[in-house]
Structure 1
Amino acid sequence: MKPELVTFGETMVIFDPVEKGPLRYVNQFNKRFGGAESNVAIGVSRLGHNAGWISQVGDEELGLYLINSIRGEGVDTSQVKMTDEAPTGLYIKERVREGSNQVYYYRAGSAASRMSKDQIDWDYIKGAKIIHISGITPFLSESCHELTMEVAEFAKEHGIFVSFDPNLRLKIISSFPKHKETLLRLAGLSDLFMPGIEEAEYLFGTNDPETIIQLSLKTGAGQVVLKKGEHGTYYASKEDKGFVKSLRVEKVVDPIGAGDGFAAGVLSSLLEGRSLKEAVERGSVVGAMIVTVEGDIEGLPTVRDINEFLRKKQDVLR
């Protein structure tokens, strides 16, 4: 069965410290994995839809670990290549204090950064209802930049719904002098543009939600979802607009992966034919749930988990 949603990009092995404090004092780590695109694919899969992830990993044990783990989450990994010419990327977390993480990346020259458009099965892409793109992949390398733009334009040409989350990573984009042009071009090719408020301010030079939404639509984006963290989310299309308040979270355990969980909630809803407002509401619930669990994907819920979470919220309010 062909995936309803297809995404592509780098997933890395994570070494997650058992203890809090500077890494020089940490001696034990848990091995996990995470990547913006595979996080979304796993989130969509857990919510009952078929998802596929395209990437490249090293032909070694860590590469096998990624493929086996992501396939084990129900995601189609048939389009993931292995290479013996480059290693799988890594990142290490540092938990200085509760709810505050520092991340160190070891991804330069990684297997995923060597992906190219020549590796893409375009029939596989054509079979998807949604192509989800992050703003990380085009800045991994020149070949990844070319790959990303080709996929976005191919999807647009063939009427496939394009979702774009800028996932701004300043350390990565700094070596690309025209990175804003690339991000705005991808926003303009998207049917759904999902920036955070800080990302939008970086791109448009304003933090006014109404102005950001108008400028986003002017670029060519079909719909805009503007995330404002704990405050809530603005959404807009040519037909409708509104605001959804964020759910209150008593304790943030690990904020990494919240945006990817939000995207999974939104996109799974759109696959079900729900309205943009309903999609944002589910995305907000998923985002709230994921920050209460350690790890990038460990807190991604099923539909049953969401219903139980909302039931408990209602019980507290009664």
Structure 2
Amino acid sequence: MDVVTFGETMVVFEPVEMGALRYVDRFKKGVGGAESNVAIGVAKLGHSVGWVSKVGNDELGKYVISAIRGEGVDTSQVVLDDGAPTGLYLKEKLRDDFNRVYYYRAGSAASRLGVEDINWAYMKQAKIIHITGITPLLSDSCYELCHAVLDFAKENGIFASFDPNLRMKLLANVPDGKERLLALASKADLVMPGRDEAAFLFDTDELAQMFSRLLTGRTTSVVIKDGAKGAHFMEEGKEPQFVPSCPVDKVVDPVGAGDGFAAGVLASLLEGKSMEEAVSVGTQIGALVVMAKGDMEGLPEREQLEAFSQARSDVLR
């Protein structure tokens, strides 16, 4: 198994037309979850990936499993929970450049995920374990699980990747949320925050301070995503570098771009590419993702990625 990731995936209801939800009556059903997005992105590039989670033993939960399995991800470790529902969220598209999201995930099956649900023999097969900052904010048991997984990765020589992936609505309900994320970040080999996320975590917008604060503990590589500008990265003992983003004509849906970026970085590292090459691939996939509707629909297969990277034009049209 090349990559194993775990966390909550919800059913997404995306409005067909634009406007406030009170005036919208048609929706497209899909799935959305940061960790499963990454899993699908890496799988589409030809790697073996497993996603670990809990969903409700209901029709929505079975739909989530079916959809993710259909994208080439192993779902054999997903638990069907009889006592809690599958989470869901609704998107609201008020204009082309502005979306709102409404979550209905409190008490979901995934929030009940704990150490006892993990098959450690399965986890030991992984070359990379990837987690995000969403999971530790779902519940105390999920937070304990994140620590256990990162400790397991270190003990077994498995590369650990962490994307803070801040969700302010979750943080508002967890008084020690920032401390939780910083504690987990220090246990990962690679940390990939957005610049705004790093600014929130460290109360500074200075890149040098961000790198200094993140390159501690076990962490030897840091990538700081800087929106449409590109991404800064630094490896232990080296100077910081910058990779510009790939410009696009029009952003259709920004949701999932960071997950696509992470998938590109992790797949590239599996293939022995340098961090600079990995970040470059991440920016390319991020560009492809924002041009498509949905959380994971724009994640490219290998041929699509290669066609984009070899395109003569510097703008995706």
Per the shorter chain, which TM-score range?
A: over 0.9
User: Which letter maps to 2:59?
Assistant: E
Give the corresponding residue for 2:211. 213
User: Which letter maps to 2:24?
Assistant: V
Give the corresponding residue for 1:61. 59
Secondary structure of the structure 2 residue equivalent to 1:230: helix
The whole-number CA distance in structure 2 between the counterparts of 1:227 and 1:192 is: 13
Contact residue 153 and residue 189 of structure 1 kept, 8 A: yes
Secondary structure of the structure 2 residue equivalent to 1:218: coil
Does residue 294 of structure 1 match 2:317? Answer: no
> After superposition, what is the alpha-carbon deviation per residue over 1:242-268, rounded to whole angstroms, capped at 9, x for unaligned?
110111111000000000000000000
Give the corresponding residue for 1:244. 243
Contact residue 13 and residue 62 of structure 1 kept, 8 A: yes
Rate the CA distance shift 1:96–1:126 in 2: closer, same or farther, 3 A: same
Aligned ranges for residues 136-215 of structure 1 at < 5 Å? 136-215=134-213
**The 10-residue stretch of structure 1 (88-97 or 148-157) with the greater mean CA deviation from structure 2:** 148-157
Give the corresponding residue for 2:84. 86
How far residue 313 of structure 1 moved from its aligned partner, in angstroms, is: 4.1
Give the corresponding residue for 2:130. 132
Secondary structure of the structure 2 residue equivalent to 1:224: strand
Does residue 111 of structure 1 match 2:109? Answer: yes
User: Which letter maps to 1:245?
Assistant: P
Contact residue 261 and residue 282 of structure 2 kept, 8 A: yes
RMSD: 1.3
Q: TM-score of the superposition, structure 1-length normalised?
A: 0.96
Secondary structure of the structure 1 residue equivalent to 2:279: helix
Give the corresponding residue for 2:47. 49
The whole-number CA distance in structure 2 between the counterparts of 1:175 and 1:210 is: 30
> After superposition, what is the alpha-carbon deviation per residue over 1:195-254, rounded to whole angstroms, capped at 9, x for unaligned?
000100011111111221111113541100011011111111124331101111110000
Rate the CA distance shift 1:150–1:316 in 2: closer, same or farther, 3 A: closer
Contact residue 258 and residue 287 of structure 1 kept, 8 A: yes
> After superposition, what is the alpha-carbon deviation per residue over 1:35-77, rounded to whole angstroms, capped at 9, x for unaligned?
0000000000001100000001111111110111100100000
Give the corresponding residue for 2:273. 274
Secondary structure of the structure 2 residue equivalent to 1:189: coil
Question: Structure 1 stretches of 5 or more lacking a match?
Answer: none
Secondary structure of the structure 2 residue equivalent to 1:67: helix
Contact residue 184 and residue 219 of structure 1 kept, 8 A: no
The whole-number CA distance in structure 1 between the counterparts of 2:280 and 2:31 is: 27
> After superposition, what is the alpha-carbon deviation per residue over 1:260-282, rounded to whole angstroms, capped at 9, x for unaligned?
00000000000001110000000
Rate the CA distance shift 1:148–1:315 in 2: closer, same or farther, 3 A: closer
Rate the CA distance shift 1:213–1:26 in 2: closer, same or farther, 3 A: same
How far residue 154 of structure 1 moved from its aligned partner, in angstroms, is: 1.1
The whole-number CA distance in structure 2 between the counterparts of 1:103 and 1:74 is: 27
Give the corresponding residue for 2:282. 283
Q: Which runs of 4+ in 1 moved over 4 A?
A: none
> After superposition, what is the alpha-carbon deviation per residue over 1:149-188, rounded to whole angstroms, capped at 9, x for unaligned?
1111111121110000000111102222222221111111
Does residue 20 of structure 1 match 2:18? Answer: yes
The whole-number CA distance in structure 1 between the counterparts of 2:178 and 2:255 is: 24
The whole-number CA distance in structure 1 between the counterparts of 2:189 and 2:26 is: 44
Give the corresponding residue for 1:229. 227
User: Which letter maps to 1:43?
Assistant: G
Q: TM-score of the superposition, structure 2-length normalised?
A: 0.97
The whole-number CA distance in structure 2 between the counterparts of 1:226 and 1:104 is: 27
Secondary structure of the structure 2 residue equivalent to 1:92: strand
**The 10-residue stretch of structure 1 (113-122 or 218-227) with the greater mean CA deviation from structure 2:** 218-227
User: Which letter maps to 2:208?
Assistant: E
The whole-number CA distance in structure 2 between the counterparts of 1:248 and 1:107 is: 34
The whole-number CA distance in structure 1 between the counterparts of 2:300 and 2:21 is: 30
> After superposition, what is the alpha-carbon deviation per residue over 1:98-138, rounded to whole angstroms, capped at 9, x for unaligned?
13110000000001111111010001111100000100001
**The 10-residue stretch of structure 1 (307-316 or 218-227) with the greater mean CA deviation from structure 2:** 307-316
Rate the CA distance shift 1:33–1:313 in 2: closer, same or farther, 3 A: farther
**The 10-residue stretch of structure 1 (59-68 or 254-263) with the greater mean CA deviation from structure 2:** 59-68
Secondary structure of the structure 1 residue equivalent to 2:311: helix
